[in-house]
Amino acid sequence: ASPLTLVKWWRVILDEAQMVKSASANVASMAHRLHRQHAWCVSGTPIGRNRLNDLYGLAYFLDIPPYSDRHFWAHTIARPIQEGDPRAMRRLLGILEQCMWRS
């Protein structure tokens, strides 16, 4: 285990947060294991080709329940949006409005 996981951090800020877009990637796994009070993501390109899963990776790192749960995300956000459900898109936009700041 990394010694970084033994520290209780006040705030963890991920610069270039798109590095955690795949929640199963090593970087994402390590970032999620850091004990912290607060988490921030900074990115100029938060959404890549795999759009919805990229956002899931950020929700996972930020630990935004229930959206940080892969099963919940898939059934409540990803699948309904892929099927064209406008309510799911409104739900996603509501989540983003609460945790995102654009300049």
| Exposure b/e, 12-29, CB count within 10 A at least 16 = b | bebeebbbbbbbeeeebe
Q: What is the extent of the structural domain holding 48?
A: 3-99
Beta strands in 20-95 (DSSP E): 35-42
Residues of the chain with pLDDT under 50: none
Q: Which two tokens stand for residue 87?
A: 């309510």
> What's the pLDDT at 5?
94
Distance CA 78, CA 28 (A): 19
> What's the pLDDT at 45?
75
Domain count, the chain: 1
Task: Tell me if the pTM is above 0.85.
Answer: no
> What's the pLDDT at 57?
87
Domain at 59, CATH number: 3.40.50.10810
> What's the pLDDT at 7?
96
Distance CA 46, CA 21 (A): 8
